[in-house]
Amino acid sequence: MSAENNNLVPSFVVFQVGTRRIALRREEVAELIASPQLFAFPHTTPMISGVVLRRGRILPVLDLGPAVCGAPSRSTRFFLVVERNISGAIEKCAIPVQGACELVSGIMFPHTDIVDFVVGRLDFNGEQVDVLDLEKAIAMNAANYDERILATEVLS
Amino acid sequence: MTQQANSGLAPRDTRPKEQVVVFSIGDHSFVISASSVQEIRSTDGLGGNVVELDRPVLRKVRHIVERDARSYYVVSGYEHFHLPLSRPTSVLILRNVPVAVLVDRIEEMAEMRVLLGLPRSFCGEERTWYRGLTVLGHKVVPVAEPRGFLTVDELRRLEQENPGLLHTVVHSVGTLRRERERA
C-alpha cells in the first residue's frame, strides 16, 4: 500500500482497560503519559477517579473500567490523554490503561450488537477489537449510576 | 572568594498569594481561605453553646452553635463530602455565612499561590463544594467554597423547618449560661 493510500486508512489506538482490549480513533488521542501520582478527593461524578498533574496542568482521570468491564480499573502509572468536548470547550482527560498501547491502521466494520457505545469493530491481527464512542460510554455509565443511586435511595 | 549577595536581582514571585487553612476529614485534605474562617475551636470546647435542631431536615446538620452572640449551623464535614464516618476534633466557624464545619484535624496554615478551576469533567455536587484546586507541596488539594457547605436552598429549608431558631439560639444560650453561672 502506498503512503498516499495509507493516509486514507483510518488509524486507531488500541489499549487495555481491565481485561478488555478496546480502541479509540487516533484523532481522539493526544498522547500516552506516565504520571507518578493520582490525586483523589471527594466528588460525585461517575467514572472520574481523581486528577493527575501534567506539566503544571491538572487532568481529570477518566476510568473506563466501570463502563467497559463493569469494575474500576487497577491502579496504573500510564494514562492515555484524550480530548473531550464538554459544552463546547475542549478538555484533556487521562484514561488509565494497563499493558501496551498500539497505534494501528485498519478498516472499522459497523457494529451489529446492541451495545450503544461501541461504534464499530476492528479486525486487528485476527483479534476483534471494539471501537469506543467515548462520550456515549460516559453518558451511558452516568445514566446507570443515576439509576443505582435512585434505587439505593428508594431502598434505604 | 566571597559570593556576592544577589537578592536584589532575584526575580520576585509576583503571583497573588492567599493564606489558607489546611484541614483533613478521613484520609482527605482540603484547604479553605483563612479570610473566610472566623475562628477554629476544639469540639471539646463548645460544650453548652450547642443546641440540637428541633427538625433536622438535612442529615449533615443536626445542631446550632453559638459563638460571640452569633449562631451557626453545625455542618458535619464527612456527611457533607459523602465520606465514611470520621471523628471530628475541630470546628471551623466561618465568616459571613452561618456555618460551622466539623473537621477531623487542622493540619497547618499555608500559602496558596495558584487556584486552578475544577475541570469541566467534574459535573456533580463538587462544583458547589469547591472553588477549584490548588497545588501544595506537589500535592493537588481541593479548595473548599465557604458558601458551598450550605447552599441558599439548604439554608432556606433549615429556616423553614426551624423558624427563627438561628436567631433565638443566641438569646436562649445566653440565658442558660447566666442561669448556670448564678447556680
Does A42 contact B121 at a Cβ distance shorter than 8 Å?
A: no
pTM of the full structure: 0.83
Cα Rg of chain B, angstroms: 20
- CB contacts of A51 in chain B (<8 Å) are 119, 133, 140
The C-alpha atoms of residue B150 and residue B61 are separated, in whole angstroms, by 9
Q: Would you place residue A139 in the very low, low, confident or very high pLDDT band (cuts 50, 70, 90)?
A: confident
How much is the pLDDT for A4? 45
Tell me which residue in B28, B82, B126 faces A45 most closely, judged by beta carbons: B126
* Residue-wise DSSP of A113-130: SS-TTEEEEEEETTEEEE
| CA distance to A20, B26, B54, per residue, from B75 (Å) | 43, 15, 15
Assess: ipTM above 0.90. Answer: no
Q: Would you place residue A95 in the very low, low, confident or very high pLDDT band (cuts 50, 70, 90)?
A: very high
All cell numbers assigned to A108: 472499522
| Contact with chain B for residue A135, Cβ under 8 A | no
- CA A35 to chain B, closest CA, distance in angstroms equals 13
Residue type at A97 in one-letter notation: V
Kindly give the confidence (pLDDT) of every residue in chain B, 183 residues in length, as a single tens digit, with 9 standing for 90 and above: 444 444 445 566 666 789 999 999 999 999 999 999 999 999 988 877 888 888 889 999 999 998 888 899 999 999 999 999 999 999 999 999 999 999 999 999 999 999 999 999 999 999 999 999 999 988 999 999 999 999 999 999 998 888 877 766 555 555 545 554 555
- CB contacts of B83 in chain A (<8 Å) are 42
Q: Could you tell me the domains of chain B?
A: 18-175 (2.40.50.180)
The mean pLDDT value for A82-94 works out to 92
- Each domain of chain A, given as residue ranges in start order, spans 13-155
The chain A residue lying nearest B77, using CA atoms, is: A42
Query: Are residues A12 and A106 in contact, defined by beta-carbon separation less than 8 angstroms?
Result: yes
| Contact with chain B for residue A48, Cβ under 8 A | yes
How much is the pLDDT for A73? 84
Which of B140, B141, B149 should be substituted to probe chain A, the one whose Cβ sees the most A Cβ atoms within 10 Å? B140
| Contact with chain B for residue A156, Cβ under 8 A | no
Tell the CATH topology of A13-155: OB fold (Dihydrolipoamide Acetyltransferase, E2P) (2.40.50)
